[in-house]
Chains A and B, each alone.
Chain A
């Protein structure tokens, strides 16, 4: 089946630094990639929707200057958390659809900001 590969699976960074998370679609073209964030014991919350070759659409309350999304090709979308702070510590997950049938998720990235 379709695979979305997400890296890194976990990262620890110092407060104030930036972290880049990559999601690659391995056997299909991901025109659209969705980025979610999940805090402990909470559900997945959509952060933004990225479309190849255009600007991402951010959900209300998500700072676009802090969470930079780049979707330069049909197989790669990246999320960069800039000037990370401890409150940004969370589980970040990307997702893409194949056709109209189902969404596939990356493995997730556990970000810890210390």
Chain B
């Protein structure tokens, strides 16, 4: 059974600081990795996707992937109060229909303190 583990938090950081969110996954054949942001009562919103080892930067967000360690992380620079949300790590991969199925972690709740 595929598992995705995240620290549930809450993670509190002051405004302007760097928030670091971590995720590990169990299925070595996973190919695609995603970070979603979910506000309370709302649907997940894609923040970042990453498919190969290394770093991927998009604005204030940097995703890091290490397939050997089965580890993916998200860094949020210059954190803003509007970044306060639950961040879901999701993994997809394998073969056939499974390559499109997302397995989600339970999410890390981030609070950015003004």
Chain A residues in contact with chain B, CB under 8 A?
6, 32, 34, 42-46, 49, 57, 91, 93, 95, 97, 100-108, 110
Contact = CB atoms under 8 A, between A and B. Distances in A.
B107 A102 contact: no
A106 B42 CA distance: 10
Nearest to A31: B100
Contacts of A91: 41
Contact of B43 (A46, A102, A105): A105
Contacts of B49: 101-102
B105 A110 contact: no
Contacts of A93: 43-44
Closest 3 CB pairs of A and B: A108-B43, A43-B106, A43-B104
Best-surrounded residue of A45, A49, A105 (most CB of chain B within 10 A): A105
Interface of B: 34, 41-46, 49, 88, 92, 97, 99-107
A77 B72 CA distance: 32
From B34, B42, B49, residue with most partner A Cβ within 10 Å: B42
Most B-side CB within 10 Å, residue of A44, A49, A93, A105: A44
Contacts of B105: 43
A49 B43 contact: no
B97 A44 contact: no
Contacts of B41: 91, 108, 110
